[in-house]
Amino acid sequence: MKGIPPPPLDGQLRTPLAVDVDILTILEIVEVDDVISLQLEVRMTWVDRRLTMTDLHEDFNVNIITSEVRERIWMPQVTRKLEHME
């Protein structure tokens, strides 16, 4: 399951993947060079019907997935370094 994306939801061609980006800090702005440095937080959410969770708590912060299980779950590939955009 690790290397195989989840199947699409009914009527869709691909699995929807929502991406939320929060700007945490503006680190630097260099106007003459048109450069801005930011610290970001990126969250991605999707539905994978292959997974079944049991004994979930209402407080989602209490629901923890072990590292062994996490290693077996498909996760989208993420490029962490974004250096330059025009």
Residues 44-75 pLDDT 10s: 999 998 888 888 888 888 888 889 988 888 98
Q: What is the pTM of this model?
A: 0.66
Name the nearest CA neighbour of 8 among 44, 48, 45. 48
Torsion, Cα 17 66 72 44, to 10 degrees, reads 10
Give the single-character DSSP code of 14: S
- Name which residue leads in pLDDT, 85 or 47: 47
Reply yes or no on whether the pLDDT at 25 is more than 80. yes
| For residues 28-52, average pLDDT | 90
What residues pair up with 42 in beta bridges, in sequence order? 21
Q: pLDDT at position 28, please?
A: 92
% of the chain beyond a pLDDT of 90: 26
